[in-house]
Chain A
Amino acid sequence: MTDPWNPENDPDEADPEITSALRTMAPPAHGHGFWDTLNARLAAEAGGQAPPPPPPPSAPPELPAEPPLAEVVPLSPRRGPGRWLLAAAAVLVAVAGIAAVTRSDDTKLETTPAAPVVTVETTTPTTSVAPPEPTSVPSTVPRTASTVPVAPGTSKPSVSPTTVPRSTTTTRAAGSLTLSPAGLGPLRLGMSPQQAAATGALGRYRDADPTSPGSCGTASPTGSYRSGDFTGLFVDNKLVRFYVTASSRLSSPQGISVGSPSSMIAKVPGTRSEQPEPYGAGTNITVMTGGAGYLFTVSQDAITEWSVGTPAGLDLKEACS
Chain B
Amino acid sequence: MAVATVPSKLETLERARGGDQHAFSLLLRRHDERMRALAWKLLGDRDRMDDALQEAYVKAWRSLGGFREDAGFGTWLYRITYNACMDELRRRKPTVLYDWTDTGQQPAVSGSGPEGSIVASDWLSRLLATLPADQRATIVLVDGEGFDNQAAADLLGVAVGTIASRLSRARATLRAAHREETR
Q: Mark A27-39, 1 if CB is under 8 A from B, else 0.
A: 1101100110111
Inter-subunit contact A38/B63 (CB<8 Å): no
Interface string of B37-70 (1 = CB under 8 A from A): 1011100001101111111111111110111100
Contact of B83 among A38, A45, A278 (CB under 8 A): A278
Please state if B174 and A38 are interface contacts (CB–CB under 8 Å).
Answer: no
Q: Are A11 and B171 in contact (CB under 8 A)?
A: yes
- Interface residues of A, count at CB 8 A: 51
Answer whether A214 and B178 are a contact pair too, CB < 8 Å, given A22-B124, A280-B76. no
Which of A21, A27, A39 is B124 in contact with, Cβ under 8 Å? A21
Contact of B87 among A28, A43, A46, A318 (CB under 8 A): A318
Query: Is the CB–CB distance between A11 and B47 below 8 Å?
Result: no
Q: A11-B175, A18-B174 are in contact. Are A31 and B46 (CB under 8 A)?
A: yes
- Chain B residue contacts of A318, Cβ below 8 A: 52, 55-56, 59, 80, 83-84, 87-88
With the chains together, A6 CA to B31 CA distance in Å?
40
Interface majority SS on B: helix, strand, loop or mixed?
Answer: helix
CA distance A42 to B91 in the complex (A): 24
Q: Interface of chain A, helix or strand or loop or mixed?
A: loop
Q: In the complex, what's the smallest C-beta–C-beta distance from A280 to chain B, in angstroms?
A: 4
Q: Does B175 lie within 8 Å of A214, measured CB to CB?
A: no
Q: List 27 A-B contacts (CB under 8 A).
A: A11-B168, A11-B172, A12-B167, A12-B168, A12-B171, A14-B143, A18-B175, A22-B124, A22-B140, A22-B144, A23-B144, A26-B37, A27-B40, A28-B49, A34-B54, A37-B54, A38-B25, A45-B62, A277-B63, A280-B66, A280-B68, A281-B65, A316-B87, A317-B86, A318-B55, A318-B87, A320-B51
